[in-house]
Amino acid sequence: MIEKHEIKSEIEVFSNKLDLGKYEQLLVEVATKATQNAYAPYSKFQVGSAILLENNEIITGSNQENAVFPLGLCAERVTLFTYGNMNIDTKVIAIAVAAHSKHNASVSPFPCGSCRQVILEFEKRQKRDINILIISSDNKIYKVKSVKDILPFAFEGDFLK
C-alpha cells in the first residue's frame, strides 16, 4: 500500500505595500534599493535583500557574482552572514528580497534552496521564525511566516547528532 501525504503552505499576497506594517513597508523599500548594489555582470539578475531586527535596525545585502560559477553569493546569504558576523544580540524578525532582471521583466525572487537552508539555520539559532517578504516585479508582495512554509522536509542540524 502506498501512502500519500499532502504538503500545504500558506502564502499571503499583498497587491499594495501600504497593506503591510510600517517597518515591513520600509524593509520592502530598502531591499528594492539594495538591488542597485548587486554585482551581476553575468546573470544580469540583480537581487537585493534587507533584514529587520527586533530593535528596528535594518541590514542590507545584494548578490555578488564571480566569473567562476558558483563562487558568487546570493543577496539573502550576504545579508544574513553580515548580520551573523556583526554579533548583534537581537533577533531577525523579517527578511525582504527584491530583484530585477535585464532578461526577464517578470520576476518573483523566492530564495533558492541554499538560501532557504541558511534562513532555516538562523531560525533555529534564534528560536524564532523569520517572516519572508518577496517583492515581485509586478509589485505584488508575497509573505510567508517562516521558511518552513517554503522548505518542506528541510535538513536540520539535529540529523547530525
Residues acting as catalytic residues: 76
**Residue 63: what are its φ and ψ, rounded to 5°?**
-70, 145
**Residue 64: what are its φ and ψ, rounded to 5°?**
-130, 110
Pairing of strands 45-53, 92-101: antiparallel
Q: Which residues of 34-60 are buried (b: 16+ CB within 10 A; e: fewer)?
A: bbeebebeeeebbbbbbbbbeeeebbb
